[in-house]
Chains A and B, each alone.
Chain A
Amino acid sequence: MKWSELILLAGLVAFSGVLQKDSLALDYNSGGGFGPGFIPLNFAIVTILLAGVIGTQSFLRSKARDPEDNDAEPATWFASLAAPLGTIALLFVATFFMEFGSVLLPLAVVTTVVSTVFLKHGLAKAAGLTVVTLAVIYAIFSLWLNIPVI
């Protein structure tokens, strides 16, 4: 079973688990019909069950296919995923810094780093691209649509 699928299914189970627990505090029935807890409780349970079935199926299928591949996967996984994982991490840090006022400044850092490190552009080209991209975005959102993006 792929690690990425395991993470996805674990995340779904955790999310559904929280909603399932919290939906117990909501009315299941109300006024001759169903209450606000009816749909979330039932669908959370179904989601958890489906995650279990899919996870088991996937685990058994991958075991049957090539057990050695599955054992070796975590090491190669991180090596091949530097670009997406690095970009995700950068975006999380940048979004944290956006809380302090400017959206475009942290974004400029992200796009420049992504261009230079992951897309292998030179620093000058990456900086130029960032300036052009953000200038166009500023013109569209801020000047044309009056959305306060700074």
Chain B
Amino acid sequence: MLDALSSLGGGFAEVFTLYNVLLIFAAGLIGTVVGALPGLGPSAGIALMLPLTFGMTHISGLCLLTGVYMGTMYGGRITSILINTPGDAPAIITAMDGYPMMQQGKGGLALGISAVSSFIGGLFGLAVLVFFAPVVANYAIHLGAPEYFLLMAVGLSTIILLAGDNILKALIMACFGILIGTIGADYVSGQMRFIYTIELIEGIDFVAIIIGLYGLGEVFYNLEKSMVMKLGKPSLNLREYIPSRAALKESAAPTVRGSVLGTIIGIVPGAGATVATFLDYALEKRLSKTPEKFGKGAIAGLAGPEATNNASVPGSLIPLITLGIPGSGGTAIMLGALIMFGLQPGPLLMVNSGDIVWAMIAGLILANLFLLLSNVLMIPVFVNLLRAVQSNLASVVIALCVVGAFSLSYSTFNIWIALIFGVVGYLMRKNDYPTGPFILAVVLGPLAENYFRRAVMMGQGDAGIFLDRPISLSLITLMGLILVGTVLAKRVMNARRRRIESGTD
């Protein structure tokens, strides 16, 4: 425990420069606005910010990305409460009690309570990340190629969790992602594969893909839907946003329960914040002495899921940092960013690049603190920013995407790539093809192929190498459990979600 605190102290020492502190503050603000905009979520926020990290140190770049990621989790609740339009999927449940509070003239209180619960949830998740991640990493450092392959396979098996309603659609997207990952020089033999133009020697740039998929694709989709927000004029009276002692007392127990649940579910690859918030809402309603108030402005129904939502972010970073397993679209992009920075995600990340990882965690703690302050004190600023950006969102995002893609190699090649994937992303979004499995496969596919072929070579063509070692066998069992368990869990959660939405639970 002392080692973890000492490492965290080292991380703070790295982060505490004026430049980094300002960057984290700005990242939180940008993330909050992006998260609040319907149609743009954590993945889009990180995708749009990735090009900005090119001129930065690894630590500054990662602080920017994680700050934006954390900020989007705070931002989603603003439009949920103000206009009953969730900024992202985990904020759907926030609208159920947040918007009724707004209608009762308690919008400021709802925003204040949700900000405090988000902060506590985030802080709890970060504490678990600080003390739990090194323990997992210590166990994970003695792995060979077969285990690495199986770890990647466990990551890829989470595709079933990101699948949405149609598993076949998720599978075809994963296959497409794996095929995209095969373009370029082969890791093992050095042979060139599918090099139709010289720029493809190192493969298709991951950042260009996500800029297209999440940036341009979302713009095209939103242009078709012509989404408009009517935000009204926010009050400038700060007292309205600071919760009273009684309100804080009422929200305390749900916040603690939400923090624990969110962290645990965040650690499970693929389960994600959305599932966690629905489960927490059901739990709070069941535990409440006044369940009839849920859906009509219950503080517990707002505070619990908000804490859950924000606790799941640090929770989801634990398998990412310690094992290299991303469990969501957002963490898959973070994984891609780590690779882009030249870091090797997986069990050795905390050994080889511990200083960077601890600085990133310190940055997250700072971001969480800044986000609490900004989300209580700066709500009118956010609402006005949202109003300004929303009506011009398409132009701003297009400009950022095009310049971002250009800056990858100072040529138009990556703009073409981003455009193509923008069209692909638009068609996927229109037809409910999930983007998570595709991104996961693009990131993990080449690594999995590399370790798989090396492992088979080690076993001289015998696939028994995957069954001989106890860790491999455990990972295969884990993969089986993920596949079977999540299919069953999904059915239960869908049934529960339907009951919550119909108001019978």
Residues on A facing B (Cβ under 8 Å): 2, 4-5, 7-8, 11-12, 15-16, 19, 22-23, 26-27, 30-36, 38-40, 43-44, 46-47, 50-51, 53-54, 57, 80-81, 83-84, 87-88, 91-92, 94-95, 98-99, 103-104, 107, 110-111, 114-115, 118-119, 121, 126, 129-130, 133-134, 137, 140-141, 144-149
CA distance A149 to B431 in the complex (A): 35
Residue contact A39 to B403, C-beta cutoff 8 Å: no
CA distance A26 to B223 in the complex (A): 43
B404-428 vs A, Cβ < 8 Å mask (1 yes, 0 no): 0011001010011001001110111
At the interface, yes or no: B449 with Cβ under 8 Å from chain A? yes
CA distance A24 to B395 in the complex (A): 44
Residues on B facing A (Cβ under 8 Å): 51-52, 54-56, 168-169, 171-172, 175-176, 178-179, 182, 186, 188-189, 191, 193-194, 216, 219-221, 223-224, 226, 391-392, 394-396, 398-400, 402-403, 406-407, 410, 412, 415-416, 419, 422-424, 426-428, 430-431, 433, 445, 449, 452-454, 456-457, 460-461
Q: Which residue of A lies closest to B393 (CB)?
A: A119
Given contacts A54-B168, A57-B168, A129-B395, contact A149 B407 (CB under 8 A): yes
Q: How far is the CB of B1 from the nearest CB of chain A, in Å?
A: 39
A residues near B172, Cβ cutoff 8 Å: 12, 47, 50-51, 54
B residues near A88, Cβ cutoff 8 Å: 220, 419, 422-423, 426
Given contacts A32-B461, A114-B398, contact A5 B182 (CB under 8 A): no
What is the predominant secondary structure among interface residues of chain B facing chain A? helix
20 pairs, A vs B, C-beta closer than 8 Å:
A2-B431, A15-B179, A31-B457, A33-B457, A36-B189, A39-B178, A46-B175, A47-B176, A50-B171, A53-B168, A54-B169, A84-B220, A87-B219, A98-B412, A103-B412, A110-B402, A114-B394, A119-B394, A126-B395, A141-B403
CA distance A44 to B172 in the complex (A): 10
Q: How far is the CB of B30 from the nearest CB of chain A, in Å?
A: 12
Contact for B194 among A19, A38, A107, CB less than 8 A: A19
CA distance A35 to B461 in the complex (A): 11
Residue contact A80 to B224, C-beta cutoff 8 Å: yes
Residue contact A36 to B188, C-beta cutoff 8 Å: yes
Residue contact B394 to A118, C-beta cutoff 8 Å: yes
A residues near B461, Cβ cutoff 8 Å: 32-33
Residue contact A129 to B223, C-beta cutoff 8 Å: no
Given A5-B430, A115-B392, A149-B403, 14 more pairs with CB closer than 8 A: A19-B179, A19-B182, A33-B456, A34-B452, A39-B449, A40-B194, A43-B179, A57-B168, A80-B224, A92-B419, A95-B412, A111-B399, A114-B223, A119-B391
Contact for A133 among B189, B395, B410, B428, CB less than 8 A: B395
Residue contact A7 to B460, C-beta cutoff 8 Å: no
Contact for B55 among A32, A130, A147, CB less than 8 A: A147
Q: How far is the CB of A63 from the nearest CB of chain B, in Å?
A: 17
Q: How far is the CB of A19 from the nearest CB of chain B, in Å?
A: 6
A residues near B406, Cβ cutoff 8 Å: 98, 103, 149
Q: Which residue of A lies closest to B404 (CB)?
A: A141
Q: How far is the CB of B103 from the nearest CB of chain A, in Å?
A: 30
CA distance A51 to B392 in the complex (A): 37
Q: Which residue of A lies closest to B449 (CB)?
A: A39
Contact for B433 among A8, A26, A98, A140, CB less than 8 A: A8
B residues near A144, Cβ cutoff 8 Å: 55
CA distance A30 to B460 in the complex (A): 11
Contact for A43 among B175, B412, B430, CB less than 8 A: B175
Residue contact A5 to B431, C-beta cutoff 8 Å: yes
CA distance A148 to B456 in the complex (A): 46
A residues near B182, Cβ cutoff 8 Å: 19, 39-40, 43
CA distance A121 to B430 in the complex (A): 26
Residue from B223, B396, B422, B452 whose CB has the most chain A CB atoms within 10 Å:
B223
Residue contact A27 to B189, C-beta cutoff 8 Å: yes
Residue contact A130 to B395, C-beta cutoff 8 Å: yes
